[in-house]
Amino acid sequence: MSANVLAPPATGSTRSPALITATLAGCGVICSFMQTLMVPLVPELPRLLSTSPSNASWIVTATLLAGAVFTPISGRLGDIFGKKRVALVLLGAILVGSLLAAVTTTLIPMIVGRAFQGAGLGMISLGIGMLRDTIPPERLGRSVALMSSTLGVGAAVGMPLSAFATQHYNWHMLFWMSGALSVLGAGALWVIVPAGPRHRDMRFDVAGALGLAVGLTGLLLAVSKGSDWGWAAAPTLVCALGGPLVLVVWGRYQWRSRSPLVDLRVSIRRPVLLTNLASIAVGFGLFASSVVLPQLLEMPAVTGVGLGQSMVVASVCMVPTGLIMMAVSPFAARVSEARGPRTSLIIGAATIAAGYVVALVLMTQVWHIVLVGCFIGVGIGFAYAALPTLIIHSVPEHETGAANGLNTLMRSIGTSTASAVAAVLLAQNVVAVGGHEYTTATGLRLAFAAAGLAALGALAIAWCLPRRERNIPTQASHSPDICTETCR
C-alpha cells in the first residue's frame, strides 16, 4: 500500500484522534438508531395512526428506502463539497424528520418524517471517510472498525430504549429524543471534527443520482413489499422488473460518464466487487437475527415454540449483540493490521454461520437466544470491521466517500432482502393457536438456515479476496489500460 493512499491530508488539527473517533462513532450510533426507532411500535401503529397494517408498514419501509438511496449520494456529495458539511446536513435531516414526526398523528407526515430520518444513515459511510481524512494511518484500522460497528450497535441498543419509552411514556417521546440527539451530535461534530479535503474539480452527477434512486427504489420495494402486495401482483412485478432494468441503463450511463456518481471502473476491481458482494451476505445475516430472534422471544409459550417474553425483555435480550459488536471491533482491527482485513472477514463470516448452526439446535430457552445473539455480534463485529477497511485499501482517496457509500448500500440491500425472505418463510409455516397464527419451529429453523447459508456465501467470497493488498493510484483513472491492470 502506497503511503499517500492512507495518509490523511494535512488539516492543521491538533485534536485527539481518540476524541475525533468517539465523536464520529457517537454520530453513527445516533443515525443507526433511526433504523429500529419504530420497530417495537409496529404492531400498534395501525391503531395509533388510524390506518391499515399495510399502510403502517410504510413507516419502516420509508426509512430503509431513504437510507439506501441517500447513502451513496451523500458519499459523493461529501467527496465534492466536504464530508463534514454533508454530515451536518444529514444530522439536520434527522432533526427535521424528528420534529415532523413528533407533532403528527397521521400517516403521510409520519412517513415523510421517517424518510428524513432514514436519510441520516449516510452518516456512517461519511464518518468512515472523515476518519481516513483525519486519523493517522497507524490508528485508522481501529477507528474505522469502531465506526463501522455503530451500524449495528445503534440498532441493537435502540430497540430496548424504544420499547421502554413506548410502554411507559407517550410514543411521541421517541421523536423528541431523536431530535435532541441529532442536535447534540451536530454540535459535537461541528466543534471537534476538522474539515477534510474537497474536490471542486468533480461535478455532481444529477442524472446518475436520479437513476440510482429510481432503480434502487423499485428493486427494494419489490423485495420489502412483495409479501404485502403479493409476489405475483402487478405492483410487485413492475418494481421487480423495472428496478433492475433502470439500474442496467444507469450502469451503462455511469460507465460512459466523465464524472460518475459511482465510478464503476473502481467498483469492478476484484477486491471492491467481492467486498460489496460479501456485504450483501453479511447484511442478510445481521438483519435475519434482528427479525427472527425477537419474534421467537415474544411469541406466547402456549404455541410450544415461543418463549413468552414481553417486548421490553425481548429487546433487552438483543442488547448484547450490539455491545459485543462494539467490544470486538478493536480486536478485529488488530487482527486486520496483523493478518489483513481478509482474515477478519473470514473469521466474521464463519462465526455468523456458527451462530445460526447453534440457533438450529438451541432455541428453547431465553439464554439460548442470547447465546446466538452473542455469536452473531462477534461475527458482525469482525465482518463490519473488515469491510470498510477492504474498501479504503482498494480505492483512491477522492473516491472514499462514494465507495463506502456504495458498500453501505450493499449492506442495506442485504438487510432488506433478509427482511423479505424471513417474512415469507415465517408466514408460510404457521399454526393456529387461540384464533391467531404463529410461526412454527420449522419456519424459524428455515429462516435460521437461510441466514446461515448467506453467511457461508460471505465466507466463500471472503476466501476469494486477494491475500495481499495492492498499490492503487491516488486518482481514479478512466484509462482502459489502467482499469485492465487494476482489475486483474
Q: Note the pLDDT of residue 11.
A: 45
Helix (H) or strand (E) holding 438: strand 436-439
DSSP structure class, residue 261: S
Model confidence band, residue 488 (pLDDT cutoffs 50, 70, 90) = very low
Residues whose CB is less than 8 angstroms from the CB of residue 380 and which lie 6 or more positions away in sequence, other chains included: 149, 152, 282, 285, 286, 321, 325, 348, 352
Q: Note the pLDDT of residue 135.
A: 85
- Which tens digits make up the pLDDT trace of 189-247? 999 988 776 666 677 888 888 998 898 888 878 877 777 788 888 989 999 899 899 98
- Which tens digits make up the pLDDT trace of 80-126? 888 899 999 999 999 999 999 999 888 899 999 999 998 888 888 88
Residues whose CB is less than 8 angstroms from the CB of residue 252 and which lie 6 or more positions away in sequence, other chains included: none
Least-confidence region, from 356-360, 367-371, 380-384, 402-406? 402-406
Return the bridge partners of 431, or none: 438
Average pLDDT over residues 356-370: 90
**pLDDT over 60 (residue 467):** yes
Residue that wins the pLDDT comparison between 165 and 192: 192
Cell numbers for 66: 431513504
Q: Note the pLDDT of residue 14.
A: 58
Q: Note the pLDDT of residue 116.
A: 94
Helical axes 173-192 vs 17-36, angle rounded to 10°: 160
Model confidence band, residue 485 (pLDDT cutoffs 50, 70, 90) = very low
Residues whose CB is less than 8 angstroms from the CB of residue 216 and which lie 6 or more positions away in sequence, other chains included: 65, 68, 69, 243, 247, 409
Tell the burial category of 195 from Cβ atoms under 10 Å away from its Cβ (0-12, 13-18, 19+). middle
d(CA 58, CA 49): 12
Given a contact cutoff of 8 angstroms between Cβ atoms, the answer to whether 395 and 271 are in contact is no
Q: Note the pLDDT of residue 198.
A: 66
Residues whose CB is less than 8 angstroms from the CB of residue 32 and which lie 6 or more positions away in sequence, other chains included: 121, 124, 150, 151, 152, 153, 154, 155, 158
Whole-number percent of the chain with pLDDT over 90: 20
Whole-number percent of the chain with pLDDT over 70: 90
**pLDDT over 60 (residue 153):** yes
Least-confidence region, from 248-257, 456-465, 467-476? 467-476
Q: Tell me how far CA of residue 104 lies from CA of 48, 94, 342, 434, in angstroms.
A: 11, 16, 47, 35
Given a contact cutoff of 8 angstroms between Cβ atoms, the answer to whether 208 and 73 are in contact is no
Model confidence band, residue 478 (pLDDT cutoffs 50, 70, 90) = very low
Average pLDDT of the residues of the chain: 81
Which range among 198-212, 286-300, 327-341, 398-412 has the greatest average pLDDT? Answer: 327-341
Which range among 17-21, 129-133, 170-174, 185-189 has the greatest average pLDDT? Answer: 185-189
d(CA 30, CA 212): 26
d(CA 240, CA 244): 7
Residue that wins the pLDDT comparison between 202 and 26: 26
**pLDDT over 60 (residue 486):** no
Residues whose CB is less than 8 angstroms from the CB of residue 129 and which lie 6 or more positions away in sequence, other chains included: 75, 78, 79, 83, 196, 400, 401, 404
Cell numbers for 280: 450483501
Question: Is 0.85 surpassed by the pTM of this model?
Answer: no
Residues whose CB is less than 8 angstroms from the CB of residue 479 and which lie 6 or more positions away in sequence, other chains included: none
Given a contact cutoff of 8 angstroms between Cβ atoms, the answer to whether 147 and 132 are in contact is no
Closest alpha carbon to 103 in 115, 112, 92, 93:
112
Q: Note the pLDDT of residue 310.
A: 80
Q: Note the pLDDT of residue 77.
A: 87
Q: Note the pLDDT of residue 60.
A: 79
Residue 436 sits at φ, ψ, to 5 deg, of -120, 150
**pLDDT over 90 (residue 186):** yes
DSSP structure class, residue 204: -
d(CA 188, CA 192): 6
- Which tens digits make up the pLDDT trace of 415-454? 777 777 777 787 777 777 777 777 888 888 888 898 899 9
d(CA 179, CA 175): 6
Least-confidence region, from 132-146, 276-290, 363-377, 463-477? 463-477
**pLDDT over 60 (residue 483):** no
Least-confidence region, from 84-93, 144-153, 270-279? 144-153
Q: Note the pLDDT of residue 301.
A: 82
Return the bridge partners of 432, or none: 437
Cα angle 250, 487, 469; round to 5: 120
Cα angle 339, 344, 349; round to 5: 145
Residue 51 sits at φ, ψ, to 5 deg, of -145, 180
